[in-house]
Structure 1
Amino acid sequence: MRSREEYLAAWSEWHGGTGTASPLVRGWLSIAYALARPIAGLPPAVATALGVVVAAAAIVPAAAGGAWLIAAGLLIGLSGLVDSIDGALAIGTGRASQRGFVLDSVADRLTEAAYAAALWAAGAPGWLAVAFGALCWLPDYLRARAGQAGIDRTGPLSVWERPTRVAMAGMTLGGAGVVAGLGHADLVVLAGTGVGAALGAVGTVQLGLWFRGVLAGPEASGRAPGPGGS
């Protein structure tokens, strides 16, 4: 297993040079690294699949409502942690691959769809839950398309990165469960889902403006669009 600093440097390289100086990013990655060390022999794909299963499992207690919403929130948080562990296993043990990177991205999108479904099951309006899920996907879609256009950087960290999405969904459901006995669960779910969607919109605009500037700059000249580009 690589040292923590070696792991952070390798993670940054795999993510287009994304910095790890932010306390949120560094803390999240450090926790995942610490949890991955004792299970370094576990195939990363197992953790990837487990993260999706745990996220999907949160839909059941979310639909049950009441105090069960606390369990849903905890499952959301656990799914995010397990998802980070698979990356720590792959990168920290030198087993990271392009195939695994793609599979991990697909798993992230599936878990975020499960988060949106859990919020809807807990009482969020359907259109708002769909907006929440779509705005979880859109920033990473922007990064993927920018990569196809020749941008080899992932852009700045926005207000709506993966840890924020997990925390927002988990705390919304858990908080709703805490106040369920007071009859305010629906209000908490509505507010939390709305705030998450708003953060997603802001994060998308942040990245969109950055990519627009990069693609319009002189360093973008001569680049050919990727497959499907126009």
Structure 2
Amino acid sequence: MDRADRGGPRRGAVPGREEHLRRWASLHGSPPPTGLVRGWLSLVHLLSRPLARAGVAPTALTAAGLLVPLAALPAAAAGGRWVLAVPVLVLLSGVLDSLDGGVAVLTGRTSAWGAVADAVADRVADALALVVLWLLGAPGPLVVAAGALAALAEYSRARAGASGVHEVGVVTVGERPTRVLVVAATALVAGLRPEQAATWALVGALAALVVALVSLAQLLPVLRRALLAVDDDAGRPRR
């Protein structure tokens, strides 16, 4: 066992679901998750426990989460029933991305480098998922707009963190589990009805755009209040 592993729990001493949710909320500076996010994290906990017990490194899962969505691209480009492989691969990518964080939380192996690597992997996987919608027939400008708005939300949160806001503040409707599900559901219907794939890809891209817009509308006011509080604490004038 290397030095990085010694901070983790003993094999078999993996925390339960509620402790996992509590640790996740603490690390993200947010209230306990609810709704879709809670359900997703509960699934992540279920799948992470055996990996944590086996001593799987979170970084290995991060790397796997980057490779899997690449396989979705040729399946989407092939069209027809090949598209049915896409939702499986997109969902697997999303699960793997969450599993690296789940294993890190359960084993106490969270790190600054792991957080950065995970964030970069997330953005690449998000971009690849949107390329899937384009390959299925969604208009390029619409796909780019949806991706840009989703990236803007993530960038705003990251910049707020660099400015001293260390809390998520709000769990929006546009968190990564929602984005993964939008693309997976779109690809599933497109695979079942290949003659209408372009139409469903358009619907999926529109859904991704709406989700990103609502996410920004939820996030930006919360970040503004948090940043104003940081300025007040530092004695800086408000703009």
* Fold conserved between structures, TM > 0.5: yes
Partner of 2:178: 164
Q: Does structure 2 conserve the Cα–Cα contact (< 8 Å) formed by 1:150 and 1:223? A: no
Q: Which amino acid counterpart does residue 35 of structure 1 have in structure 2?
A: L
| 1:114 and 2:113 aligned | no
User: Shift in Å at residue 147 of structure 1?
Assistant: 1.3
1:119/1:224 CA distance change after superposition, 3 Å? farther
In 2, distance between residues paired with 1:3 and 1:25?
17
Deviates more, 1:71-80 or 1:208-217: 208-217
User: Shift in Å at residue 117 of structure 1?
Assistant: 1.2
User: Shift in Å at residue 3 of structure 1?
Assistant: 2.4
TM-score normalized by the length of structure 1: 0.90
1:110-148 superposed Cα distances (whole Å, 9 cap, x missing partner) = 100111111111111111121222223221111111112
Of the three residues 172, 186, 195, the one matched with 2:207 is 195
Query: Any stretches of 5+ residues in structure 2 without a counterpart?
Result: 1-13
RMSD of aligned residue pairs (Cα, Å): 1.8
Q: Which amino acid counterpart does residue 129 of structure 2 have in structure 1?
A: Y
Partner of 1:135: 149
1:223/1:121 CA distance change after superposition, 3 Å? farther
User: Shift in Å at residue 224 of structure 1?
Assistant: 8.6
User: Shift in Å at residue 159 of structure 1?
Assistant: 1.5
Alignment of 1:87-126 (within 5 A): 87-126=101-140
TM-score normalized by the length of structure 2: 0.87
Q: Does structure 2 conserve the Cα–Cα contact (< 8 Å) formed by 1:149 and 1:224? A: no
Of the three residues 168, 175, 196, the one matched with 1:184 is 196
In 2, distance between residues paired with 1:224 and 1:102?
30
Runs of 4+ residues over 3 Å off in structure 1:
222-225
Give SS of 1:90's match: helix
Aligned residues: 222
User: Shift in Å at residue 2 of structure 1?
Assistant: 2.1
What is the identity percentage for the equivalent residue pairs of Structure 1 and Structure 2? 42
In 2, distance between residues paired with 1:36 and 1:112?
22
Partner of 1:58: 72
In 2, distance between residues paired with 1:18 and 1:91?
15
Q: Which amino acid counterpart does residue 87 of structure 1 have in structure 2?
A: G
Query: Any stretches of 5+ residues in structure 1 without a counterpart?
Result: none
Partner of 2:231: 220
